[in-house]
Chain A
Amino acid sequence: MAERVFHREREFTKAYKQHMHDHIAIREAACLRAQYPGALGPIEPGDLFAGRVRPAAVGFSPDEWGQTAFGYYHLPDRFREVLQRPDLSPEDRAEIEEMLEFWSRENTSSKVRARYSPEMAKVMPSDNWMNEPGMVFPLYRLCGAYPNYGKLVTLGLPGLRREVEQARDRARQTGGDAELFTGMLIALDVLADACQHYADQALELANSADPERRRELGAMADILLKLKTEAPGTFREAIQLMWIYSIVADVRNYGRMDVYLGDFLAADLDSGRLTEAEALRLLQSLWQLMADRNTRVHGRVIIGGKGRPNEANADRFAILAMEASRTVLEIEPQLSLRFYRGMNPALMEKALDVIGEGRTYPILYNDDVNIPAVEHAFELSQEEAEQYVPFGCGEYIINHRSFGTPSGVINLLKALEVTLHNGIDPTTGKLVGLQLGGLESFATFDELFAAYKQQVEYLVDFMAQQEEIEYQVAGETMANLYLSMLYDDCMERGKGMFAGGVRYLGGTLETYGNTNTADSLTAIKQLVYEEGRISPKELLAALDSDFEGYEHIRELLLAAPKYGNDDPAADGMAVKVHEHICHTVRDQRKKTNLHSYLVVIINNSANTLMGRWTAASADGRKARVSMANGNNPTGGMDKKGVTAMLNSLVKLDPSIHAGAVQNMKFSPAMFSTHRDKLKALLQAYFDNGGAQAMITVVSRGDLEAAMQEPEKYQHIFVRVGGFSARFVELDRDVQLEILSRTLY
């Protein structure tokens, strides 16, 4: 029988309404019951593990669904789509319209916005950051959780259940919040039911499968049934458990996988239960499942680094993981290799092999720089800092111990633009910022810089408040049952993640336009204030007309020193801009209840999307053109060679933010003909303080050809700031931005 239209959404809504005023843990558990197994996608041919997603138009997610929606989310587009169906009965239409109306009020994101003060609402009039101009935008989401997968695969479902039951009993005896744990027990039932659901499905599929596939599906079903009552005992079982958990819990980053799977792998290989080839095949299937899940900006698998108790076994897993990334040509997982001086050199060798083939993975993270940086930025002990993990586009948190979703974006170049125009956004003519005088009123460069800083500081206060409000709403609305059972110290404290459970609750602010802002300030300082070659009036006229008729002014601006050339003036300004925004944001921890609030300079394609709404800038950039990516120089402006570029990069202090991406584009020859020199180059960069490297290996000719004949170039992968992408699938202006980046 065909499913009733919006059946899953109706069931979910019914459960929510029924428990609307119950304890949030009970409500959440009831909603999870309603959500699953309906939101589980079918096992696909070739899958060796069960677990795919089939999200409904209404649901619960601790992360985000749709554009900036989290918690109890709804997808208005899907509602509108179904409401347009001509065959919809009047009763169905009425019910769905009522549901849409209900969720428009009741979705968690709306509750965040509803709590803004009038001033906040004025500063952030829109959350449509992709399609409207603005200096700051909120992002409603709770991204980047790293639950304790190690605990999950060690205890298994029965072990977790025992732990939750004990905690519930303790809470009952001590007057604690026992219902939180009751909710967790239901959530564990839902997880066990998901295992049963897939076991049944696997056995049913096995009936009509060929003998080999029948064996595979049979093994899958056996494992799923076993996991209901036993902890995993093999590599394959452990993977199945972590995977089905991550699907049902909707957790999108996969942790220090070499640590929690390394021992399983080693035991299976050493006992002969599994061959290397079989183990690789399992990982390849897992990798494909991650790819098909298409989280776009998540899907991190972390390997390598300090703080691994089982280093030798973990290394074996890490090498296998890199081989999986070499052979599965997909965008996810975002395999990330942490490394340090003294680590098994085979890992870096393997990494360079894989990167050299044009895979963009693994992304490289230098522990020798990052651990002290995390210690300082987050004010944590070295031992805790050793457990840093980059999530999503590259924001650091502490594995299953801290949380720091990026819940806002700031376009620094727009803030400068508004400052130069005395509070007016020249692209709209509207007054949007502080009126501090405008360029013609500043007698010295220092006055201009002070005004820019004031503008930015004013905005950052609100962004930190937005983050706090989001957590408050989250804490009041959701228990985060799946995360809370695997996140320090929720169980011990008897509290949900955002109701005081997580040990370190921090936040992050995504900054864009950093490089263009610095280069603009460098040019203004030199040409307007020091040399007097351009008057303030002339500069404003040139910017406002997008340099039409002011080509000579643009030439002067372009010829001014640029960040990325190891130039003291340009890099010095970049350092000033960097330190100002990083400290301003970091100081918010004193003004809020956040444990930390830190800048991330990550970039996805936001440098391009926000660039579309940013006018011409004093670094010579034309209006609407992409801003520079992450911490990187403006494409084509780094003219002094790769060493000079890398020297510029390391001048920006990594110990005052929570992650920055450094994209580097190398030619294939660098990896083949000059492999030793490449290794030496990276080593010196890392020794000099380089924290991170995302390397794309591609020839310019291939990129140009791919723009002409995309169908032939599906295999080209490039880094777009924080994430990897198929080049041919990107928008044209994003493609051009990548093409403009200097190729070494």
Chain B
Amino acid sequence: MQGMIFVIQRASLHDGPGIRTTVFLKGCPLRCQWCHNPESWSFEPEVFYNHDGTTKLVGKLVSVEEVMAEVLADRAYYASSGGGATLSGGEPLAQSAFTLALLKECKAQGLHTCVETCGHAAPERFQAVLPYVDLFLYDYKATGPDHRRYTGVSQELILANLDALYKAGAKIILRCPLVPGINDSSEHLRAIARLEREYPELLAIEIMAYHNLGNDKAKRLRRKPALPGIANPPQSTVQAWLDVLAELGCRKVRIG
């Protein structure tokens, strides 16, 4: 069993509890305009142009054993910190057989597992991995027609999968990328607050403030950045989002 990944990031501090190893799978059904990992879109290896004119290939096929060897090298750090392995992407469920195999192996080794997902995958795929996932980092990116506009897909399937996972008892942290002037509309913030009310067992809602590092990567893939002119939001903007959400009754919002 092989899968296409673009990087394995060890000592990851932002993808779930503790110190983790995050496996980034390559290939995604969404095309979020703010994506900071544009090299994760295609399911094929791609040429990355370095600034000094040289190139490198991003993406390689790896076996479950190869990934596990690297993941298990940091066991001691997971144990001391309450960490584990996180599958991210791209969209892990887009390579669901490989993802399932990895998750099974992680659980067999007694590791804590996280899956970071955009939610856009066939419901049966979520059903299949559910028993092997300790925590979902589940994206909520935009509300209503905006969703298709900014990510390329509508949000019905995503909301249905969230609902099904929640009702099946999955542990979920909602992750909300916020891009100033793009998806930080009051309607979207209200929708986030509504989800917190509707799903009281959500562990947390994490605000992921936009950063524009993805633009450079897009250029190096010889693509045009979709949101070229947007500055990283200052602390005051982030605080304003938090204030609005608090006013809307959110109690679980934090900065991710």
Contacts and interface: CB of A to CB of B under 8 A. Distances in A.
B77 interface: yes
Contacts of B77: 643, 680-681, 684
Contacts of B9: 641
A744 B11 CA distance: 9
Given A643-B10, A647-B73, A681-B19, A676 B80 contact: no
Nearest to A680: B81
Given A555-B54, A687-B76, A680 B19 contact: yes
A677 B74 contact: no
A28 B127 CA distance: 85
Interface string B98-112: 000000000000000
B13 interface: yes
Given A566-B73, A643-B19, A687-B76, A676 B81 contact: yes
A677 B10 contact: no
B11 A641 contact: yes
Contacts of A674: 13
B81 A684 contact: yes
A683 interface: yes
Given A641-B9, A684-B79, A677 B19 contact: yes
A640 B74 CA distance: 12
A642 B73 contact: no
Contacts of A640: 10
Contacts of A642: 10-11
Interface string A630-673: 00000000001111100100000000000000000000000000
A630 B2 CA distance: 40
B73 A677 contact: no
A128 B161 CA distance: 72
Contact of B10 (A555, A644, A676, A688): A644
A647 B79 CA distance: 15
B18 interface: yes
Interface in A683-713: 683-684, 687-688
Contacts of B54: 555
A676 B19 CA distance: 10
A334 to B, nearest CB: 28
Interface string B80-114: 11110000000000000000000000000000000
Contact of B80 (A647, A681, A744): A681
A683 B76 CA distance: 9
Nearest to B56: A559
B254 to A, nearest CB: 12
Interface string B150-166: 00000000000000000
Contacts of A681: 11, 19, 77, 80-81
A86 B21 CA distance: 71
Interface in B197-236: none
Contacts of A744: 11
A684 B10 contact: no
Contacts of A644: 10-11, 73-74
B7 to A, nearest CB: 10
Nearest to B255: A673
B80 A687 contact: yes
A555 B76 CA distance: 34
B255 to A, nearest CB: 10
A650 to B, nearest CB: 10
A688 B82 CA distance: 16
Given A680-B19, A687-B80, A643 B13 contact: no
Interface in B114-158: none
Interface in B9-25: 9-13, 18-19, 21
A680 B82 CA distance: 9
Nearest to B54: A555
A647 B74 CA distance: 8
A640 B12 CA distance: 10
Nearest to B14: A674
Contacts of B13: 674, 677
Given A643-B10, A644-B11, A744-B11, A677 B76 contact: no
B114 to A, nearest CB: 15
A680 B80 contact: yes
A557 B185 CA distance: 51
Contacts of A647: 73-74
A555 B53 CA distance: 13
B128 to A, nearest CB: 30
A380 B80 CA distance: 32
Contacts of B21: 643
A680 B74 contact: no
Interface string A697-733: 0000000000000000000000000000000000000
Contact of B81 (A555, A566, A677, A688): A677
Given A644-B73, A677-B18, A684 B80 contact: yes
Nearest to B81: A680
Contacts of B18: 677, 680
Interface string B162-181: 00000000000000000000
Contacts of B81: 676-677, 680-681, 684
Contacts of A566: 10, 73
Contact of A683 (B12, B73, B74, B80): B80
Interface in A168-194: none
Contacts of B82: 680
A688 B83 CA distance: 16
Nearest to B76: A684
A240 to B, nearest CB: 44
A684 B76 CA distance: 5
Nearest to A644: B10
A665 to B, nearest CB: 14
B80 A643 contact: no
Interface in A535-581: 555, 566
Q: Among A647, A674, A676, A684, find the residue whose CB has the most chain B CB atoms closer than 10 A.
A: A684
21 contacts: A555-B54, A566-B73, A641-B9, A641-B10, A641-B11, A642-B11, A643-B19, A643-B21, A644-B74, A647-B73, A647-B74, A676-B81, A677-B13, A680-B19, A680-B82, A681-B11, A681-B19, A681-B81, A684-B80, A687-B80, A744-B11
Given A640-B10, A681-B11, 18 more contacts: A566-B73, A641-B9, A641-B11, A643-B19, A644-B74, A647-B73, A674-B13, A680-B18, A680-B83, A681-B19, A681-B77, A681-B80, A681-B81, A684-B77, A684-B79, A687-B76, A687-B80, A744-B11
Shortest Cβ-Cβ A-B pairs, 4 listed: A680-B81, A641-B11, A641-B10, A684-B76
